[in-house]
Structures are given as C-alpha cells and as structure tokens.
Amino acid sequence: MKRTLALVLFLFCIIIVVSSRTSLDSLKEYQDSLSQPASTELTTPPPDPPEPPPVVTNDERDDEFMIYGPGAYKVGTDIPAGLYMAKNDGSNISRVVVKDSPEPDIEKPNIIVTARYLSDRGTFAERAAYVESVSRGGGVPVQPKDDEELAEILREGLTEYADELAKRYDGLVLTGGGDVAAHFFNQEHHPASNPPDETLDIAEIALTRAFIKANKPVLGICRGMQVINIAMGGDLIQDIPDLLGLDPEFHNDYEARHPIKIRSGTWLYDLVGSQADVNTTHHQCIDDIAPGFTVVAQIGPVVEAMESGNVLGVQFHPERMLDEGMLPLFKDFIERCSYRDREVNIFTEHIIIELEENHYIDIRGATLTEIENTLRDFNKIFDTEGHYPEGMYWIGHHVPEGVYRLNIAKDADFSHYAVYRDISRESLTHSGVILEDGRLITLTSGQFVSLIYATMTPVSAN
C-alpha cells in the first residue's frame, strides 16, 4: 500500500513539472512575438484563376464563345461557316480535314500512272511496281493502254489533252525515270546529265499543272518529284557528286537503305513518323524549291520529300518498299483521291482555315476557334527572345503590319515561310527557304503569313 501511494505521488510531481515548463515556453513565445513588427501580408487565399472556355463536341453548344474539340462536324449545322484558327491541343500532331461529303465520293478512284514511250520498241515502259502500289492502295491504275488521249500526250506531247485528263481522272502518279531537260528549269545541260526525253518532260509537266489546277492529288516519285518542282517553278541540282561533292554511290542503290529526317506537322510525318530508312537511286536532286512547297524530309543537303496541300513528292522509291512501311502512303493518297473536294491540314502549332456551308470537317489533335475570338491571344505571344514562333498569322489582326526579320527556329534543319494575299492557297504572293537568320519581309494588313520551322521578329523591336 505504501509503495502504491509513493508511486502516485511521484507521477503527480512529474505532471506538475512538465505543465509548468510548457506554460513558461508559451509565455516566452508570446513575449517574443510582442517585440516583432506587425505582419503586412494578407492571410486570405488568392482568388481562383478564371476557368478557360470549355472544349466542346458537336453534342454540346454554347453560342457565346465556342472552342470545338476533336470530332466530326457539318459546317452550317454543327459549326458556323467562317474563318477559324486551329490550334494543336498538345498532341504529337494535329490534323484538320475539310471535305465536301462525310463519306468518299468515289469508291475506287481512277489514278493515272505515267510511263515513257519507247519509240524503238513501239510500246510504253512497264510500270508494274507503281501499278501494284496503286491497286494495293485501293485505286484503279490507268495506264497509256487504257486511254488513247493519255497515250497521245505521253507519246507525242499533245498538251491540249492535259486539262481534259485532269477532269476525267481522280489522281496522278508521276513515276521515276531519266533526267529532265535542263532548259525546262533555265539551266545549261550538265555533262553528267543523261540524254532527256523531252516529249515525256512536256507531257508530265503539263499533266502536273493541270491536276494541281483542278485540285486533284498528285504523287511524284523520284523523277516525278523533280517534275513537280520544275512544273511549279523550282529547279534542280543536275549532278549530286559534282555539285554537292557526295559519294556517287550514296544515292544510287535500290537495295541499300539510308535514314531520312521527316519534319513534324507534315503529310509524310503523319504516315511514316519522324524518320525512316529509305532506298534511293538518283544523281540529281531538288535545289530551289517551288513557291508554296515545303521541304519535309532530307538527308544532308539532299531533299528527300516536298509537299503542298494534296501534292506530295518523294525522292526515294516507296513502290519498292510496300511491305517495309510504305503501303500507308499509297492508301492515304488513294483516300485523298476518293473525294472531289478534300483539303488536309497537318500542323504542329496553329493554322487558319476557312469553312464554307455544307462542308464537313474532321478534327484530330486540335481545337478550333472562330478567328475573332483568337485575336487577344496574340498580344503577348512573343517567346523569351522576342520572336513570333512557328504558326500562321493574320496581319493587322494577330500581328501588326510592318517589316519583319525571319529566323531559323531553334534546332531546325530547314525553315520556310509563305505569304498569301488571302486565306486561299491560290493567293500565294511569295515564299521561300530560310537558309540563314536575318531575311527581311514586309507584311501588310489583310495578308496571311505561314512560318514553318521559322520565327519572325518585328524590325522595330531590335
């Protein structure tokens, strides 16, 4: 009993000591606080940031301010007609397709496959690999033996047939072959160039221009890409080993493969990815690219692909690589040929498009906003170095008119720009490759400028 009472008294004493110490500590903290200046900081939490406008689909409508997200829409019903800005929504690639009908107009499009006329044999060269590629892609290949007017333009250079053939058929494949005569791109014949077939040159240049004018898809392969470039105002390097100093064998082996780097936000990137191992056999290549076209792939100084709208040129031979990942290229080309009116916009940042009543639009990896609701977004769009980044701008609305300095975007291998009088592709005023920083352009209100792997800086800002 005595031991128990002693233990209780001992515990009671410990509690009193601890409580006293705590009270003294609290009193000291209070006294210290009296000697400090009063705090001027607000203790209320900051207000919540404003919520961004909602991203909607065609099942949700808010006519005050709309941002249309990925999905399918009919213009005039699900989305008003007008001018819009499409922005990448953070995806690896954005794709906006505008077409005249929700489903293809043509089940199996008819595609011209060009061929050289062999006068010594009285027949046309066999184009079996190209014919197979079109067939496996879902199209119907049309050869000279299938159409007498096609045969006559290829055999005799009767260019008056070009426009009619562009109306009659749904797409054009320009095949590989020999060198184009140098006078077609205002140069003298290089000693290393092969003797040209000028009748074929005349025919393919005329067909290219006719199909592009008719807004029909064109695919040019090897020589075919070079024909596209010449037909639309570009030129060629006539001999890679002599003029570029490269190994003669490097670009002259069907079986060998070499890597190419493919620019994001392009037709080829969407189908193949950022790089591919391709074959090649050619001693000529693109030099100055045609106005309105973009270099989308290359290895060193050699251009391996170019494109503009529904026109794609490749220097390599995908028809020989169908089972090595190139069949999707032909399938996508045939799909483009399946619509009478179809515009495909592939991009990485932002573009401006015009939507017309009763057209259909498919959006992937992007959002769409009426142009008037995007103007405030560009008040502080400069990057940390004072540049307007890659994208498309409406002069006088998104950026002021004036003189701008063009620069190559960081880590870019090739940069381009294009200036349009209005939003239509046909209104191109000038374009070009940016080889070094500092190129100056003058932009006026109402124009549209497209920057591809490029930036621009107002001259007055420097």
Tokens 């007055």 correspond to 460
Residues in the chain: 462
Q: Is there a catalytic annotation at residue 350?
A: no
DSSP string, 80-135: -SEEEEEEE-SSS-EEEEEESSSS-S-SS-EEEE---EETTTTEEPP-HHHHHHHH
If you ran DSSP here, which 8-state letter would residue 217 be given?
-
Neighbouring C-beta atoms of residue 47, cutoff 10 Å: 6
Catalytic residue among 283, 317, 359, 398: 317
Q: Are 351 and 392 in contact (CB under 8 A)?
A: yes
Q: Are 233 and 324 in contact (CB under 8 A)?
A: no
C-alpha 348/C-alpha 258 separation (Å) is 26
Q: Is there a catalytic annotation at residue 222?
A: yes
C-alpha 317/C-alpha 280 separation (Å) is 6
Catalytic residue among 204, 304, 307, 319: 319
C-alpha 40/C-alpha 42 separation (Å) is 7
The number of C-alpha atoms within 13 Å of 7 and in the hemisphere containing its C-beta is 4
C-alpha 37/C-alpha 421 separation (Å) is 65
Measure Cα distances from 216 to 102, 221, 257, 456 in Å: 18, 17, 31, 33
Closest CA to 231 of 161, 173, 289: 289
Q: Which distant-in-sequence residues (6+ apart) come within 8 Å of 333 by Cβ?
A: 137, 171, 217, 219, 312
The tokens describing 231, both together, are 């037909």
Cα angle 131-178-278, degrees, rounded to a multiple of 5: 60
Measure Cα distances from 103 to 46, 139, 339, 342 in Å: 51, 16, 8, 11
Q: Is there a catalytic annotation at residue 149?
A: no
Catalytic residue among 204, 222, 304, 350: 222
Q: Which residues are catalytic?
A: 222, 317, 319
